[in-house]
Amino acid sequence: MFPCSFGKYRYWTSPLGKNIPEYQKVLEERGNWSNSMENPSNTNIVDFQTTPIFPRERRFRKKSHDEILEDAPVVAYSRIIDRIHPITYLLGNKNSLRQFFWKEKFFPFQMVLEPGVPKKEWLDELFQRHSFLLFKPSKGTQGKGIRIIQNTNEALNHIHKFQRFKEWIVSQYIHNPWKLKIVGERPSGVVYNDTIGRKTNLRVYVLIEKTAERVNIYMYKRMIMMASVKEYIDPKSTDPYQILTNLFQAKKYYKDVLKLQNSEDAYKDLSFCGEDIFKQQLGERGYKHILRQVKDITLRVIKKAQDQFFCMNKNAPNFISCYQFVAFDFLVDDRLKVWLIEVNSHGPGLEGPRWNWKTLRRFFDSILQTVVDKHISPAIPSEKKNLFKQLSQQSIRKKEHIMNHKLFERLAAHFSN
Whether 148 and 237 have beta carbons less than 8 Å apart is answered as yes
Full pLDDT tens readout for the chain, 417 residues:
233 333 333 333 343 444 577 777 787 777 666 665 544 444 444 566 555 444 444 444 455 656 656 666 666 777 888 888 888 778 877 777 777 887 788 988 877 777 765 578 888 888 888 888 888 887 656 667 788 888 888 888 888 888 778 778 888 888 899 999 999 999 999 999 999 999 999 999 999 999 999 999 999 999 999 999 999 998 878 788 998 888 888 989 999 999 998 888 999 999 999 999 999 999 999 999 999 999 999 999 999 899 999 888 888 878 889 999 999 999 999 999 999 988 988 667 787 888 888 778 888 889 989 988 887 766 777 777 889 999 986 555 444 444 444 544 554 555 444
> How far is 184 from 190, CA to CA, in rounded Å?
8
> How far is 237 from 220, CA to CA, in rounded Å?
34
Residue 50 pLDDT: 59
Q: How far is CA 323 from CA 206, 215, 287, 349, in A?
A: 11, 9, 29, 18
> How far is 174 from 133, CA to CA, in rounded Å?
9
Residue 119 pLDDT: 72
> How far is 412 from 403, CA to CA, in rounded Å?
12
Closest CA to 204 of 371, 340, 364: 340
The CATH architecture one would assign to domain 85-107+175-416 is 2-Layer Sandwich (3.30)
Q: Where are the alpha helices (DSSP H) in 262-337?
A: 265-269, 274-305
> How far is 410 from 244, CA to CA, in rounded Å?
27
Angle of helix 94-101 relative to helix 274-305, nearest 10 degrees?
Answer: 80
> How far is 96 from 345, CA to CA, in rounded Å?
13
> How far is 64 from 77, CA to CA, in rounded Å?
17
Residue 82 pLDDT: 82
> How far is 343 from 90, CA to CA, in rounded Å?
10
Fold of the CATH domain 109-173: Dna Ligase; domain 1 (3.30.1490)
Range list for CATH 3.30.470.20 in the chain = 85-107+175-416
In order, the DSSP letters of 238-262 are --HHHH---HHHHHHHHHHTS--S-
Q: Looking at residue 177, what DSSP letter applies?
A: B
